[in-house]
Amino acid sequence: MCGELIREGVRSQKGFSHPTHPLPTPHSHAPHPLPPTPMPFTHLRTIRFSDTDAAGVVYFANVLSICHEAYEASLAAAGVELNSFFQAEAVAVPIVHAEIRFMQPMVCGQTYAIAVMPNRLSPEKFQIDYMIRGPLKTTTEPSTLPLVSQATTVHLCIDPTTRERTPLPAQLEHWLTTIPSNPDIPAS
């Protein structure tokens, strides 16, 4: 299951689907339903032995690596060609801030769902919030699993030669509008 992707309107191999809202009949007095909220991009990741520390849980720094894998998967899902994006000479996108909050340990052999929720902060900066839920069960919708960790990364676009800020490139602009954010992320 490592690397499976779940997005709104796409079913995974395990048959997860996102709920739809029933429309009222023309003669009903029920209020109009709210439009469905776009589901955040979700990447599934099975924890490997190399991710863990001597206590058998994911080493704290590896959680950021796992989140970065989910970020890369979301870029690819939005049609961004990863090799050219990360090798681009016109722009670099370093992480200028990162934080993680742990609620439960993550262990080897278990699969977790990482929701990727990007938000623009300025013309040259964006933030990604990650919600890690799990462990995944074969018949469970990932969004209903326990929250085990939250992370945030802030990315700044710069010119790699001058180190000056530069606007987001077209590929990132497209990604920000393609991958939905989640307005319901809980406050830390």
Q: Is the pTM here over 0.85, yes or no?
A: no
Is 129 catalytic? The answer is no
Q: How confident is the model at residue 143 (pLDDT cuts 50, 70, 90)?
A: confident
Q: What is the pLDDT of residues 104-140, one digit of tens each?
A: 999 999 999 999 999 999 999 999 999 999 998 776 6
Residue with tokens 């938000």: 119
Phi then psi for residue 177, to 5 deg, are: -90, -15
Q: What is the pLDDT of residues 152-166, one digit of tens each?
A: 999 999 999 999 999
Q: What is the pLDDT of residues 16-33, one digit of tens each?
A: 333 333 333 444 444 444
The residue that leads in pLDDT, 103 or 87, is 103
Q: Are 44 and 112 in contact (CB under 8 A)?
A: yes
Catalytic-labelled residue, pool 51, 53, 129, 159: 53
Q: What is the pLDDT of residues 67-93, one digit of tens each?
A: 999 999 999 998 888 888 888 788 999
Q: What is the mean pLDDT of residues 179-183?
A: 55
List, as own/partner pairs, every contact residues 8-13 make where C-beta atoms lie below 8 angstroms and the sequence separation is at least 24, other chains included.
8/36, 8/38, 8/39, 8/180, 12/44
Q: Are 104 and 47 in contact (CB under 8 A)?
A: no
Residue 48 has pLDDT above 60, yes or no: yes
- How confident is the model at residue 180, as a pLDDT? 60
Residue 49 has pLDDT above 50, yes or no: yes
Q: Are 156 and 128 in contact (CB under 8 A)?
A: no
